[in-house]
Amino acid sequence: MSHFASYDGTDIAFRTLGDGRPLVCLPGAGRACEYLGDLGGLAGSRQLIMPDTRGTGASGDADDPATYRCDRLVQDVEALRAHLGLSSMDLLGHSAAGNLAELYGAAYPQWLDHLILLTLGLRAVGIELSDEQQRVALERGSGEPWFANAMAAVEKAEAGDDSAETRRRCMPFFYGRWDQAAQAHSLIGYSDRARAVQASYYADGAFDPDATRTALGTLTAPVLIYAGEMDFAPTPSAAAQAARLFPDCEVIVQPGAGHLPWLDDPAWFTAAINSFLGVRRGG
Q: Report the pLDDT averaged over residues 182-205.
A: 93
**Would you put residue 41 in left (φ > 0), alpha (ψ -120 to 50) or beta?**
left
Q: Report the pLDDT averaged over residues 8-27.
A: 97
Give the pLDDT score at 131: 80
Q: Report the pLDDT averaged over residues 62-88.
A: 97
Strands (E), the chain: 2-5, 11-17, 22-26, 47-51, 89-94, 112-118, 223-228, 249-254
The three-state secondary structure class of 250 is: strand
Report the C-alpha gap between 22 and 72 in whole angstroms. 23
Residue 271 has pLDDT above 70, yes or no: yes
Give the pLDDT score at 162: 81
Give the pLDDT score at 89: 97
**pLDDT tier at 282, thresholds 50, 70, 90:** very low
**Which comes out higher in pLDDT, residue 222 or 129?**
222
What fold is seen in the domain 2-135+193-279?
A: Rossmann fold (3.40.50)
Closest CA to 102 of 82, 116, 90: 116
pTM, whole model, 2 decimals? 0.95
Report the C-alpha gap between 96 and 122 in whole angstroms. 8
Report the C-alpha gap between 85 and 78 in whole angstroms. 11
Give the pLDDT score at 132: 85
* Domain segments of the chain as ranges: 2-135+193-279
